Amino acid sequence: MMSVGTIQCIFLVVMHSSTCILVEAMYSKPNFVLILADDLGIGDIGCYGNDTIRTPYIDKLAKEGVKLTQHIAAAPLCTPSRAAFMTGRYAFRSGMGVFGGGRVLKWLGVSGGLPPNETTFAKILQKEGYSTGIIGKWHLGANCDILNDSCHHPLSHGFHYFYGFPLALFNECQPGGQLEIDVPFRAQLAFLSQLICWAVITMVIGKYTNLLPISWKMIFCCALFGFLFFITWYLKYGFMHYWSCILMKNYEILEQPMNVQRQPARIVRESRQFIERHKEVPFLLVVSFHHVHTPLVPTKAFAGRSKHGMYGDVVEEMDFMVGSVISAIDDLGLKNSTLIYFASDHGGHLEVKDGDIQTGGWNGIYRGGKGMAGWEGGIRVPGIFRWPGVIPSDTVIDEPTSLMDLFPTVVGLGGGKLPTDRIIDGRDLFPLLTQKTSNSEHEFLFHYCGSSLHAARWHEKDSGRTWKVHYATPAFYPEGAVGCYHTILCGCEEKDVIHHEPPLLYELSSDPSESNPLSSQTSSYYKEVLNRVKTAVAEHQKTISVVPQQLSFYNNLWKPWLQPCCGRFPFCWCDKEENNGTDII
Ligand SMILES: *[C@@H]1O[C@H](CO)[C@@H](O)[C@H](O)[C@H]1NC(C)=O
Ligand SMILES: *[C@@H]1O[C@H](CO)[C@@H](O)[C@H](O)[C@H]1NC(C)=O
Ligand SMILES: *[C@@H]1O[C@H](CO)[C@@H](O)[C@H](O)[C@H]1NC(C)=O
């Protein structure tokens, strides 16, 4: 198939051959800088309507490019949303969206992660001659079977360079931070502790009765290990802090535990250096912020600057970091040859509060938040593209688009071919972004919570209406609240949800806040819409096949033999980035 560039080229060759070469060069291998925020709400950004948080750099990016107002995350949590983003496929296709051991990877020392046979856009671009890098958060696994097999590591998924956090930033990464580990997670810890206890007791009995050929030294080691395990989890955050909050450069551990305060400066430095190093060749850089996930640790320059406490400070700091990355592109004269993208992995986290102050993100007029698959607040995120000269400036597109669309879009523009041996759920956004078409290719989008389908969206091309059908919604607590304030996140199944039979129907295009459910009395479309969506869901569900579950109880269980460790296990500790500056301005 001819690329858009080629077609344009043939057209232009008639007019002016040197323009042709220019256009072809520009279209065939742009650089990509894909910036992803963590837990950022759509209502936190100036150009999406926030008038008190200052985000001048992101606003300018939108002014110089296209702003999507219906940009939808494939899942309302980090791990599945990022898996879908990287592969262009719903998370359940790679086994990354399945309930069982939790909805995200909980430890670094687990065997689950993005499977090696999944293809990321980075893997395809690498083959097309791109230099590829990811700076910041990964959260898609590390090892499979043995320590340092790195089967889930970014370097095994198409990236030449990785600098960042292989897991994520959790509250536990900041000493003294509030606990983020949830109930099933604590149950896993208790289970492991008990297992170790019983193992030691069995060994002692075995030794006494001569049934087990085991040395006292071995028993002592196991007991010591069990004791340390116990102590660290009794100290609560300590366990996560030392063993899951680490900073890596490629395969090397730089900080264990990582120093949260230093990270903003590192991310900016590494991103700018990556761009500088690769300015002569086409490159793909994914900048994956830990902002604005808690713990909120603004650097000195930003602490106390915003009107919204620490949360606002961190948003403004992130905006400044976006600006620093963009200025590296612009200052090197790469502005017209680089596609820049900015989005958040899912909506803001409603249940995170400090007293009455919201510290987990603001989803504007949209209902719900992080963890909720159906309500817009959990999945509708900012989405901005800039590529001067190719993508129009100061343009707003309201069509439904998905974070999964980055996969075919990036692959196509980078000159690669989409895999044909699997289903790709994302759609090429380039025709929409360049206004060659005014319609999104997504007629239906499906909204999963763990492995349960909670809702489906139908964009009716002819009428332009967008409908949303909810089959299940989270059971909020306390009653009347929006959120699950008795725990950290709303659940997806059983008693945690309310099943709707008949389903709830909203017309999103006229009721974006999902406040007026329609019924057969109030809407003449009611029956027809429900039937059409029902058929689409049935067709969609036929495409689901059984794959190994990466987030099963076993795969998401901490395993000492898979624990990345700087130093001698279990005393993992190092700091190789000590004297490297912490100011971002
Ligand atoms: C801007 O963001 C802050 C903090 O997230 C929020 O409290 C405020 O309501 C937002 N303002 C608007 C107009 O959305
Ligand atoms: C970049 O593209 C813009 C818009 O087409 C154009 O005005 C500008 O001159 C271009 N800059 C360079 C350095 O080519
Ligand atoms: C990857 O391997 C698993 C296990 O063999 C299989 O079920 C799955 O279909 C494979 N995925 C792809 C995209 O080939």
The finding on whether 22 has its CB within 6 A of some atom of ligand 2 is: no
**Atom 2, ligand 1: residue with shortest CA distance:** 44
State the Cα–Cα distance between residues 67 and 58, nearest whole angstrom: 10
**Using an 8 Å Cβ cutoff, are 163 and 180 in contact?**
no
Highest-pLDDT range among 6-20, 176-190, 281-295:
281-295
**Atom 5, ligand 2: residue with shortest CA distance:** 389
The finding on whether 306 has its CB within 6 A of some atom of ligand 1 is: no
Q: Which residue has the higher pLDDT, 236 or 48?
A: 48
| 466 bridge partner residues | 459
Which of these is catalytic: 9, 20, 71, 139? Answer: 139
Model confidence at 184, in pLDDT bands (50, 70, 90)? low
State the Cα–Cα distance between residues 433 and 53, nearest whole angstrom: 27
- Two tokens at 414? 């980078």
Q: For residue 563, what is the enclosing H or E element?
A: none
To the query of whether residue 47 is one of the catalytic residues in this protein, the response is: no
3-state secondary structure of 363: coil
pLDDT tens sequence across 163-176: 999 999 888 888 76
Ligand of minimum distance to the alpha carbon of 307? 1
**Using an 8 Å Cβ cutoff, are 103 and 80 in contact?**
yes
Model confidence at 7, in pLDDT bands (50, 70, 90)? very low
Helix/strand/coil (H/E/C) assignment for every residue in 253-287: EEEECCCHHHHHHHHHHHHHHHHHHCCCCCEEEEE
**Using an 8 Å Cβ cutoff, are 509 and 466 in contact?**
yes
What count of other Cβ atoms lies within 10 Å of the Cβ of residue 221? Answer: 11
Model confidence at 356, in pLDDT bands (50, 70, 90)? confident
| 572 bridge partner residues | 567
Model confidence at 229, in pLDDT bands (50, 70, 90)? confident
Ligand of minimum distance to the alpha carbon of 424? 3
Residue 45, pLDDT score: 97
Residue 18, pLDDT score: 45
pLDDT tens sequence across 126-166: 999 999 999 999 999 999 999 999 999 999 999 999 999 99
Which of these is catalytic: 9, 20, 71, 78? Answer: 78
Number of residues that this document lists for the chain: 585
Q: Is the pLDDT of residue 13 over 70?
A: no
Torsion of CA 361, 76, 267, 301, to 10 degrees: 0
pLDDT tens sequence across 468-484: 999 999 999 998 899 99
State the Cα–Cα distance between residues 239 and 584, nearest whole angstrom: 29
To the query of whether residue 245 is one of the catalytic residues in this protein, the response is: no
What rounded mean pLDDT belongs to the chain? 90
- Of 63, 334, 335, 336, the residue with max ligand 2 atoms within 8 A of its CB, to mutate for a pocket test, comes to 336
Cα of 552 from ligand 3 centre, angstroms: 16
The finding on whether 389 has its CB within 6 A of some atom of ligand 2 is: yes
Torsion of CA 243, 247, 248, 254, to 10 degrees: -90
Average pLDDT over residues 342-369: 92
Peptide bond into 502 cis (omega under 30): yes
The finding on whether 464 has its CB within 6 A of some atom of ligand 2 is: no
pLDDT tens sequence across 414-470: 999 999 999 999 999 999 999 999 999 999 999 999 999 999 999 998 899 999 999
State the Cα–Cα distance between residues 137 and 139, nearest whole angstrom: 6
pLDDT tens sequence across 91-103: 999 999 977 778 9
The finding on whether 547 has its CB within 6 A of some atom of ligand 3 is: yes
| CATH code of the region 29-170+244-568 | 3.40.720.10
**Strand runs labelled E in 180-337:** 247-249, 252-256, 283-288
Tell me how many degrees the CA angle 246-248-82 measures, rounded to the nearest 5: 80
pTM for the structure as a whole: 0.90
Model confidence at 240, in pLDDT bands (50, 70, 90)? confident
The finding on whether 419 has its CB within 6 A of some atom of ligand 3 is: no
- Of 93, 117, 119, the residue with max ligand 3 atoms within 8 A of its CB, to mutate for a pocket test, comes to 117
**Atom 10, ligand 3: residue with shortest CA distance:** 117
Residue 251, pLDDT score: 97
| 71 bridge partner residues | 381, 401
Strands 131-137 and 161-165, sheet pairing: parallel
* CB crowding 491-518: b at 16 or more within 10 Å, else e: bbeeebbeebeebbbbbbbeebebeeeb
The finding on whether 88 has its CB within 6 A of some atom of ligand 3 is: no
State the Cα–Cα distance between residues 53 and 364, nearest whole angstrom: 12
- Annotated domain spans of the chain: 29-170+244-568, 183-238
Strand ranges of the sheet holding 452-459, from the earlier edge strand across to the other edge: 444-449, 452-459, 466-474, 497-507
pLDDT tens sequence across 194-221: 788 888 899 999 988 988 888 889 888 8
